[in-house]
Chains A and B, each alone.
Chain A
Amino acid sequence: MMALIIPAIFIAVMACAVYKKVNVYGCFTGGIEGAFKFVLSMLPCLAAVFMMCALFEESGLADMLIKFTSPAFSFLGIPEELTKLILIKPLSGSGSLAYLTEIIQDYGADSYVARCACVCYGSSETVFYISAVYFAGIKAKGLARPIVLSLLSALFATAAACLICRVM
């Protein structure tokens, strides 16, 4: 059922385009050109962020932070196994996806830890990453406040996720 929605959207748009006699091929390639330019404009930001992530992990700073913060997380009712996922998620989507896969494989897809991890992953975003991309060409001031607020509410939602997973 869910799988049908996306093809249906495409078909509806294409049908509408035919009805309105729009040059579908021209528009479609135009859109792709936009996508290409956009990805190119994003590449410098992404390269810098991913370099930082690689250093962050390779240097052992990530592990130190994990050791340092996991007591605080377990105080909030968050299993220690999730610390790494929670710390990496704001930085890198692909990195956290790799950890999520690891957790699911290590603990089994239906275990409490894996279910928690899935909910955390599904209900949070790569905050630093999107702030880097969104505000790349913008001279906005006072970005620290929205970023901190987003991170805090993500943490709160994670604690809630662990609670809900225990019940549901």
Chain B
Amino acid sequence: MNGVFTAIFIISAVLLCFAAPEKFLTALMDGARTAAAVCLTLFCVYAVWMGLAAVAEECGITRGAAKLLRPACRKIFKTDSDAACEAAAMNLACDLLGAGASTPFAVKAIGEWEKEKNGYAQKLLFVINAAGFQIVPSTVIALRAGAGSAAAADIFLPSLICSAISLVLSVTAFAVSERICRAWRGRKKKRKRGGA
């Protein structure tokens, strides 16, 4: 992130010096304003869902659901942390429903995994989320309906297929690359040991 941010920032700034240097500050402040506006929108979404999640947690609903998912979760993420499993399950449930409040739970799960130094699970959860799997792309359907589409929901099936492709592809690629990396690292260690 650091590299991408710095590179884009510097290149854009240099380009802008040639094109329109007076726009530099306004562009930055517009960005900050957008961020504030997005935060406000996100707060509204998160307030609703995290409020509900807190009630569900107190009732023991999330704990029950997490108990059901624990064996699968342990296997998939190679973790022992129940709190992380619970948060990851909530995160994925929100993703599937398109509830828009998946991020806080993902951050919580990643924080829990940080305690047990489980980089694999952190990255895997990120990859799953980055594939953007969703059962009903509600935003898009609403947008099309608003623009006067004859059959706004007919992108439902193509969307589902595509997000499934994206999910399967990225998770497989990540798992394979992780294995390759580990094998490579293992060989390096062996070589070191052999040399000594």
Contact = CB atoms under 8 A, between A and B. Distances in A.
Nearest to B16: A59
Given A52-B31, A109-B147, A149-B177, A134 B159 contact: no
B166 interface: yes
Nearest to A36: B43
B52 A94 contact: no
Contacts of B13: 55, 59
Contacts of B4: 128
Interface residues of B, number: 91
Interface stretch (A66-74, A76-84, A151-159): A151-159
Interface residues of A, number: 93
B39 A42 contact: yes
Interface string B102-146: 011011001100100001001101110111101011111001100
Contact of A156 (B134, B158, B165): B165
B173 interface: yes
A141 B114 CA distance: 12
Contacts of A156: 165-166, 169
B61 interface: yes
B59 A20 contact: yes
Given A47-B32, A59-B16, A94-B38, A27 B162 contact: no
Contacts of B32: 47, 50-51
5 contacts: A50-B31, A61-B11, A118-B143, A144-B3, A165-B155
Interface of A: 2, 5-6, 9-10, 13-14, 16-17, 20, 22-24, 27-32, 34-36, 38-39, 42-43, 46-61, 94, 97, 100-101, 104-105, 108-110, 114-115, 118-125, 127-128, 130-138, 140-147, 149-150, 152-154, 156-158, 160-161, 164-165, 168
Given A109-B144, A164-B158, 14 more contacts: A20-B59, A35-B50, A39-B46, A46-B35, A54-B28, A55-B31, A58-B16, A101-B143, A122-B137, A125-B129, A134-B110, A135-B1, A135-B126, A161-B158
Interface of B: 1, 3-5, 8-9, 11-13, 15-16, 19-20, 23-24, 27-28, 30-32, 34-36, 38-39, 42-43, 46-47, 49-61, 97, 99, 103-104, 106-107, 110-111, 114, 119, 122-123, 125-127, 129-132, 134, 136-140, 143-144, 147-152, 154-155, 157-159, 161-163, 165-166, 169-170, 173-174, 177, 181
